[in-house]
Structure 1
Amino acid sequence: MSSPDPVRLSLALPPAEAVRAVRDRLGPLGWRVREMPSPVDSDDASTTVRLERGRRGLTVLVGALAGRHMAASAQIVLRPAGAGTLPCGSGSSAAVTTLHYLPDSGRALGGLLGERRAQRWHTEAVEALRRP
């Protein structure tokens, strides 16, 4: 099994509301959502969100045998979309945010079984983010 692929989505929300939408959609699935501070000298208008689930210490000790407590993480980068970008199925010209979902493989701490479990969790997360 290979490393999970990054996913790019468009949301019909301004970046601040997109962070709240990520939290609302992924929180019930067990993900902890942390907004990361932007570098002070950065001109980039992007927002980085760190997703984590499970218990890292337990995963270090027993790997994928930690079951649903196995640690997994991902990073989401939110950027205001360029002019003319519309999310799928939207006829609106409201603010649009481009979302880049960058998952980790889960293999480092969980081995092959952990990689499969992390892949399943990342797939569920992306499906939740795609829902209207």
Structure 2
Amino acid sequence: MASAADSKSRNDLPFTVFVKLDRDNYPLWKSFVISIVKGCRLDGYMLGTKECSEKFIASTDSSKNPNPAFEDWQAYDSQLLGWLMNSMTTEMATQLLHCETSKQLWDEAQSLAGAHTRSRVTYLKSEFHSIRK
């Protein structure tokens, strides 16, 4: 069960990220996002350390009842997922629309940024070699 401090800290993500994720600013964006999400005590959802509860719980009469912990997890994660999407440029968010959890989006944004960085390094190396010739 969530404590009063947890529920107060997890209400809304009231902060606007003034640095929207684009193809060139992942390290800066990541720094802002982590500090805000940790401040709201939601980092476990995004980093995968707060595991999703079972959807149903068994009752004494063998029926399955909705698990309030699952519903809470889903609500917090969905709120965080939407907030993360809103902290990106349209171009970046469009590439990550398929993500269903905040952890999936976080991991794929990092991979996308890494792929862009590697291609940029390759491009700059080829430019450097062509200048030297």
Give TM-score, length-normalised by structure 1: 0.28
Task: Answer 1 or 2: which has greater helix percent.
Answer: 2
Q: Which has the higher strand share?
A: 1
Q: Which has the larger radius of gyration?
A: 2
**Highest RCO, 1 vs 2 (Cα 8 Å, sep ≥ 6):** 1
